[in-house]
Amino acid sequence: MSATYRDVKADILDKITRGTWAPGSLVPSEVDLAETYGCARATVNRAMRELVEDGIIERRRKAGTRVRMAPVRQARFAIPIVRKEIEDQGAAYRYALVSRAVATAPDWLRARLNLAGGGQVLHLTCMHYADGIPYQFEDRWINLAVLPQAREADFAQTGPNEWLVAEIPFSDAEISFLAVSADAGLAAHLGCAPGDALFQTERITWWQGAANTFVRLTYRRGHRMTARY
Amino acid sequence: MSATYRDVKADILDKITRGTWAPGSLVPSEVDLAETYGCARATVNRAMRELVEDGIIERRRKAGTRVRMAPVRQARFAIPIVRKEIEDQGAAYRYALVSRAVATAPDWLRARLNLAGGGQVLHLTCMHYADGIPYQFEDRWINLAVLPQAREADFAQTGPNEWLVAEIPFSDAEISFLAVSADAGLAAHLGCAPGDALFQTERITWWQGAANTFVRLTYRRGHRMTARY
DNA sequence: TTCGTCGTTACATCTATACATAAGAGTTTT
DNA sequence: AAAACTCTTATGTATAGATGTAACGACGAA
């Protein structure tokens, strides 16, 4: 008979979406709500914490809880491994290494990764195909100071993405989404015309404070990234 | 002296990132962990729940908790109101209504919004400027069956985004990110050359089951959307 | 061998209670 | 009046204890 935290959350959300509790207004205190729902304060607390997480309400000690004025809408995008992304679409995945070179990090990369001068990096470019059709072009730079074992790794069969996932399980990352115009190289690799608008993501990942890789992924023409929230 | 849920979470995360607990391996049970950390099981539970939320571990009743094989990397993007986005960059915001028309929903829109035939929609196009420079072009369609009051609203001063936020506090949404080539109209509005690659988002929002608006936002050249995770 | 029952286990959640902490409000001091 | 202080309140977090529930695995029946 007593309300679960889901019930409480749902009811509060309902009161907010229906406008019973208007944006900016003060929500009753946890103690009051616990009484009205006939449950413990901890239960109300959990419901409220999740609503904060969802960007629906704001809470401050002593000041109380209020409905957000402008809801912070936030979308969560899953960042899958390319192979999984393609196989989940029911297509056959194929990988190909395009180029591999060890070099001194160029200035722009040193700046992005915050590297010391003279740092050696492994530069890889690869292609990912779905049912034999170009799907994504990968332009990856690996910091050899952090991952010296990358020098010996064989990227002819497995993509650097999967190698990295196995090598360093978890890391911090910064990701950007942007649009670029296809240059001659991209156009050739992705089978589109030079100048076509392409969707691109850039990602820098850190591991234990040091940047370990920079990657630029360019998708084939018409790709879109979608999320519900 | 006793561990907080943050301590527990941090320590578990550390064990995982350092490889002490490898991907796929079984993590000790809540009871065991509570004992080793000298805290209550609820404390361990909260730490673990957050790690699930972060995509680090997977839990199943009876089966126990294990480190995810392929971490589900997920990025959260805040979807701000344009005005806030611009003002937060320290720039002056300016809004302008470009066009306004009531029409029967075209077929492609009916399909996207799952509208009945003959549905009336309000079609608005607007511009958002940062320090007087074109920042974003907004192409919005509002379902008048759901929001009849939009017909009377004055969008000359306030953008439809802010009007909608005030009108329907919260809603479900689907958002897509993609790249488009600037056509003549976009190029003129955003001050770029036709054919330039532009970053675009499309969003459909529902309120209580019915689609209420479709919006396409095209950003000025070079825009990027960034998130850390 | 295959299938269903059932016990055990590990997570999911709730309760009641306690103390910590931040911050608004009012009060005293300088 | 400004600054320092205390009081009070609402949220934040921890605890022990209990019940609910899904699922693995073993055991026994068909």
pLDDT cut 90: percent of chain A above it: 52
Q: Which of A73, A146, A168 to probe the B interface (max B CBs under 10 A)?
A: A73
| Calpha distance B82→A220 (Å, rounded) | 29
The pLDDT value recorded for residue B213 is 93
Using the C1' atom of nucleotide C12, identify the protein residue whose alpha carbon is closest: B61
Cα distance from A159 to chain B (closest Cα, Å)?
A: 14
The pLDDT value recorded for residue B220 is: 97
Show which residues sit with Cβ under 7 A of nucleic chain C: A 2-7, 38-43, 46, 60-63; B 27, 29-31, 41-42, 45, 48-49, 52, 59-65
3-state SS class at A218:
strand
Determine the Cα–Cα distance for residues B157 and B160; give it in Å rounded to an integer: 10
B110-138: average pLDDT: 93
Q: Which residues contact A32 (CB under 8 A, 6 or more apart)?
A: none
* Average pLDDT of span A207-217: 90
Distance, CA of B147 to CA of B144 (rounded, Å): 5
In Å, how far is B88's CA from the nearest CA of chain A? 14
- pLDDT tens figures, A125-175: 999 999 999 999 999 999 999 999 999 999 999 999 889 877 876 778 899
Residues of A in contact with B81 (CB under 8 A): 70
CATH entry 3.40.190.10 includes domain A5-67: no
Q: Let me know: does A219 contact A80? Beta carbons within 8 Å.
A: no
* Structure confidence at residue A1 (pLDDT): 45
What share of chain B in percent tops pLDDT 70? Answer: 98
Q: CB-side exposure of B157: number of CA atoms within 13 Å?
A: 2
CA nearest A163 in B: which residue?
B70
pLDDT at B162: 87
CATH class held by domain B82-219: alpha beta
Is any Cβ of chain B less than 8 angstroms from the Cβ of A215?
Answer: no
Model confidence pLDDT, tens digit, residues A33-75: 898 888 888 899 989 988 888 888 889 888 889 888 776 677 8
Q: What are phi and psi of B158, to 5 degrees?
A: -110, 145
| Contacts of residue A66, Cβ cutoff 8 Å, sequence gap at least 6 | A24, A25, A26, A27, A57, A58, A59
- Domain residue extents for chain A: 5-67, 82-219
Size of interface A-B (CB pairs under 8 A): 158
Evaluate if residue B222 carries a pLDDT over 90: yes
What would the DSSP string read from start to end of A148-174?
GGGGT--TTTS-HHHHHHHHS---EEE
pLDDT at A183 over 80: yes
Q: Which nucleotide is nearest to A60 (CA to C1')?
A: D11
Looking at chain A, how many residues does it have? 229
**Which SS3 state, helix, strand or coil, does residue A211 take?**
strand
Determine the distance between A25 (CA) and C26 (C1') in angstroms: 25
Kindly report the nearest CA distance between residue A166 and chain B, in angstroms.
8
| Res A10 pLDDT > 60 | yes
| Contact assessment for residue A212 and residue A206, using Cβ atoms and an 8 Å cutoff | yes
CA of B71 to C1' of D17 (A): 35
B4: CB within 7 A of chain D nucleic strand: yes
Residue B152, Cβ density class (10 Å: 0-12 exposed, 13-18 middle, ≥19 buried): exposed
Region A178-191 average pLDDT: 96
Q: How far, in Å, is the CA of A104 from the C1' of nucleotide C24?
A: 58
Q: In angstroms, what separates the C-alpha of A152 from chain B's closest C-alpha?
A: 21
Statement: the CB of B1 is under 7 Å from strand D: no
User: Which pLDDT score is estimated for A196?
Assistant: 96
